[in-house]
Amino acid sequence: MRRCVRGILVVLTLCGSLVPAVSAQAAERGRAAPVPLERLFDNVAVSDDSRPREADFDGSGASLSARDLTAAGWTPGRALTVQGARLTWPKRGPGEPDNVRAAGQDVRVTGRGDALAFLVAGTAGTEVGGPGTVTYANGTRSGYRLAAPDWRTGPLATKAVALPHINTPGGQLDLSARLYVVTVPLVPGRAVSSVRLPSAAGLHVFAVSVRTATQGWTGSWTTATGGYAAVGPWTDRTLRLVVHTSAGGPRVRMRFDNTFAATPVRIGSATVAVQASGAASRGTPVALSFRGAAGVTIPAGGQAYSDPLGFSVPADANLLVSFHLPKAVTAAPVHGLAQQRSYVSEPGDHTADTAAGAYTSMITRWPLLAGVDVSGGPGSLVLLGDSITDGDKSTVDANRRWPNVLAGRLLKQSTVPRYGVLNLGISGNRVVTDRYPGDGVSTDTAGVSALHRFDRDVLAQPSARTAVVFEGVNDLRWGTPAERVIAGLRELAARGHARGLRMLAATILPCEGEARCTATVDAERVAVNEWLRGGEAFDGVLDFDAVVRDPQRPARMLPVYDSGDRLHPGDAGLAALADSVDLGLLRP
């Protein structure tokens, strides 16, 4: 082998032949400068239904339907917000190049944020992906790994949007096509200058951006979408939803989610006010705006953030968030168990009403509204759970869920920051199994699994600092073995750690006496709890089991804490859980 001392050329003798090799530095100098993604488009994914041969997304002539995309609100050049990231659907007509086949291209991407968001799909028949590189303005780099589910076989539970047809040269097929938004972490505080895509056959990238929506905000209230359910129907009605804040602040913004939807939804106008009582507000409700407009149309699978509004949000108080639905809404994303009464008006836009007179109907679910954020603050504590976190069996309208009690504790102390507390509990939810399939109108609002909703419900929350996972009893009650639950919990911990979150877990409560809580289930519960207490995966454990169990019969809850169904704590039990939390575990 001959080697130049300072030169670039290295000649290696391999199997009798001379092979020139170029140094990494020279290879970098030889690469083209990063360019916007659209200048790299080299594949056609979308076809007109009458001219399907003009596109070939997957190499066999199949493509997405332009008509289906339009029906979903995904029109050329449309800005879409998914998982808090703002992405633009390519401004290309049917039959024009509209995506990049990832092959190590350097893409110009700028901005500061917590994550890089990709709008992607795979066409290899299975998940595809590979490593890439982020380059920052200061010359440093970080690696990432991007994986895209397949456009025809990937999980519906994590898709951004599903379309009902696939175009082929032989005609249109009634088969679902899926597109995904996938996020990867960035180094906090650094400005991004470019992104190198992975080299992965079958990985298609439609858009990429830096997620900035969470910066400068603290989550004060949120809820998790558990399904896409029949509602109303509502036409020209105003919904006035009652939500309870944790942290307060001088400015506010709202988030509306059209998760799991197949069609857009129109919000004509919206307001916020502090509740006086019932549907009556304390003072005149203040109008929200959306990019300067009074209303907004949210595409299928998308989100809409209202513009920042100078409105003093009190901590530990009820707000009225009112929004007018001018067009017919027969199904909507909902959180099924609110434990809070909200209101629906007679026909008309009643968002500005101070009095309650127009609000003649009541609902106990939260449709469409998904978040209330306040400016500044120390960030958020995110609680991922099932019905016990959701507040099932707590007193309606009293805000006695254990997350509410914990938020009250935080407001009264100075040992740790006074975080916003975000309740992402869903009644009936499981760690590893979807209850709602992730697409279509369903009567089940127990949600997709914690594994499938973790990115959307935890990682995309504003300024999340710590997450608590309190799930598993529903998996065990329905026959999932302890080892599968443990594997799911371990994965959640690893995914949170990869994003810089402090990850805590809570032990599973005893439930002897409930029909499905057999001795076999209790043995599995004990196995999961022993693993949690071992400290293998999480940064700390909240031993809720030890708080509420009967010392004389450890498989059951103490009667004083039991709501009466042997599974859910009542108000006293929920307060005991919140009061037992060692606030020191929440230190940054």
Residue pLDDT, tens place only, 45-54: 999 999 999 9
pLDDT at 474: 98
Give the angle 570-573-576 at the CA atoms, nearest 5°: 150
8 vs 65, which has greater pLDDT?
Answer: 65
Nearest-angstrom CA–CA distance, 212 and 513: 48
Averaged pLDDT of the chain: 94
Residue pLDDT, tens place only, 408-449: 999 999 999 999 999 999 999 999 999 999 999 999 999 999
Nearest-angstrom CA–CA distance, 121 and 124: 10
pLDDT at 30: 60
Q: What contacts 190, CB < 8 A, 6 or more positions away?
A: 112, 136, 137, 138, 140
pLDDT at 587: 87
Domain ranges of the chain: 1-30, 37-211, 214-374, 378-588
pLDDT at 213: 77
Residue pLDDT, tens place only, 10-41: 223 233 332 333 344 444 556 789 999 999 99
Q: Residue 561 in 3-state DSSP?
A: helix
Average the pLDDT over 141-170 and give the result: 98
pLDDT at 29: 56
Considering only 50-64, 207-221, 558-572, which range has the smallest mean pLDDT?
207-221
Q: What contacts 471, CB < 8 A, 6 or more positions away?
A: 384, 385, 386, 429, 430, 431, 450, 489
Domain 378-588 annotated CATH 3.40.50.1110 = yes
Average the pLDDT over 496-525 and give the result: 98
DSSP state of 121: E
Predicted confidence (pLDDT) at residue 42 exceeds the cutoff of 50: yes
Nearest-angstrom CA–CA distance, 313 and 551: 43
pLDDT at 31: 75
* Rounded percentage of the chain residues whose pLDDT exceeds 90: 93
Nearest-angstrom CA–CA distance, 112 and 121: 25
* Rounded percentage of the chain residues whose pLDDT exceeds 70: 95
Q: Which pLDDT band holds residue 588 (cuts at 50, 70, 90)?
A: confident
**pTM over 0.85, yes/no:** yes
Q: Which pLDDT band holds residue 3 (cuts at 50, 70, 90)?
A: very low
- Count CB neighbours of 457 within 10 A: 25
Q: Which pLDDT band holds residue 214 (cuts at 50, 70, 90)?
A: confident
Residue 78 near residue 191 (C-beta atoms within 8 A): no
DSSP state of 389: H
Token output for 381:
């504590």
Residue 204 near residue 43 (C-beta atoms within 8 A): yes
Residue pLDDT, tens place only, 340-369: 999 999 999 999 999 999 999 999 999 999
Domain 214-374 fold is Jelly Rolls (2.60.120)
End-to-end CA distance of the chain: 54
